[in-house]
Structure 1
Amino acid sequence: MEGEAGVSVPQRSRTGLRTERLLLRQWRAEDREPFFALNADPEVMEHFPATLTREESDAFAAQSEADIDRQGWGLWAVEVAEGPDAGAFAGFVGFKVPRFDAHFMPAVEIAWRLARWSWGRGFATEAAREALDFGFTHIGFGEVVSFTAVPNVRSQAVMRRLGMTHDPDDDFDHPVLPEGHRLRRHVLYRARSAA
């Protein structure tokens, strides 16, 4: 099986990744409802242009599922595996290829979006660390980027905890947002393979 990066992707990525507390897995039909609730939450979506409709949310999940089926990696659904919330859908963590024009493109992005109830528990860092390890070790990525709007200090803290580096010269104006939009200016972080 060939992934989008042009390297063989092991079967493990289709069945999912496992951390101490979390499963990163393929999407299921029962994820659609909690995913829509997450995407409709104004606090979760504070650093995005708008919340998502049910149709937009379902389409996002369907595309993520199709990407994993096609290439063996993508934005995995995150499920809590241990503790009182075991079995709960928490959001997504994983990789995607951005489709806009910027100075750092083409690139593979690591991204996450988690339900508010799961914040403050280290889930984003734990899941993203496992995904990065898999991306570098098994998929063969040489570099992975992450970016967010300047006001999104929570996500920037996750990027720093992952050991990603920030050069202010890399920051950019997101081309899909209009001039003057409060979220247009973005910071860019990079992680490089040790190999």
Structure 2
Amino acid sequence: MTIYELKTARLMLRQWRDDDTLPWAAMNADPLVREHFPSILTYEQSAASASSFRDELARRGWGWWALEVAATGEFVGMAGLDPVEPGLPFQGVEVGWRLARSAWGQGYATEAGHACLDYGFDVLDLPEILSITATGNERSRAVMHRLGMTHDPAEDFDDPTVPPGPLRRSVVYRIRRSRPH
């Protein structure tokens, strides 16, 4: 299977490498990066997720790509597309991102998100792409708005993969292929 890599003006979305594990684990141990997730991750949990992302990319050709700054080669997180997990009240493919705090506020999530949407619509021929986050994740919701995605409060749901508590309530944003560029 060919692993597709996406390039933007400033970013490379690429296959995971062994040397991504340490900065990925550091990101996932940061309480602010994990603020809208149930917990921080151990090194072992982060390494397992990176390995899973690598395997999915190798099998499918697309998925959760490692995100690096093209000019420096610095690993700054992940972005990509992935089928919605089973058990949620809807189906489809979601776009998402997670960045190291050092990469926040630079437009990287929006830039990577646009590249993922283009790939999803132009290469995968998807009619629609979703994005899901905890209700209180205003930073990700702002990226979803900048990507042209829309939110219908009637679709808000309690995520069964999240333990009961304030992070369980989630929102769904959607964008259809006919979005403006």
State the TM-score bracket (shorter-chain normalisation).
over 0.9
| Cα shift at 1:111 | 1.0
TM value normalised by structure 2: 0.95
Identify which of 85, 88, 103 aligns with 1:118: 103
Aligned to 1:99: 85
Identify which of 77, 82, 86 aligns with 2:66: 77
Identify which of 60, 74, 88 aligns with 1:88: 74
Aligned to 1:191: 175
What SS does structure 2 have at the residue aligned with 1:190? strand
Question: How far apart, CA to CA, are the structure 2 residues paired with 1:178 and 1:28?
Answer: 31
TM value normalised by structure 1: 0.88
Quote the RMSD (CA, aligned, Å).
1.3
Percent identity among equivalent residues? 50
| Cα shift at 1:100 | 3.5
Question: How far apart, CA to CA, are the structure 2 residues paired with 1:130 and 1:178?
Answer: 32
| Cα shift at 1:15 | 4.5
* Structure 2 counterpart of 1:172, one-letter code: F
Question: How far apart, CA to CA, are the structure 1 residues paired with 2:163 and 2:43?
Answer: 25
For structure 2, the 5+ residue unaligned runs are none
For structure 1, the 5+ residue unaligned runs are 2-10
**Aligned length, in residue pairs:** 179
Question: How far apart, CA to CA, are the structure 1 residues paired with 2:35 and 2:103?
Answer: 16
Identify which of 25, 45, 50 aligns with 1:36: 25
| Cα shift at 1:132 | 0.6
Which deviates more, 140-149 or 118-127?
A: 140-149
Question: How far apart, CA to CA, are the structure 1 residues paired with 2:126 and 2:77?
Answer: 23
Which string of whole-angstrom CA distances, capped at 9 and with x for unpartnered residues, describes residues 14-68 of structure 1? Answer: 1411000000000000000000000000000000000001111011001101111
Aligned to 1:4: none
8 Å contact 1:75–1:92 — kept in the other structure?
Answer: yes
- Structure 1's consecutive aligned runs of 4 or more residues displaced over 3 angstroms after TM superposition are none
Residue 177 (str. 1) matches residue 162 (str. 2)? yes
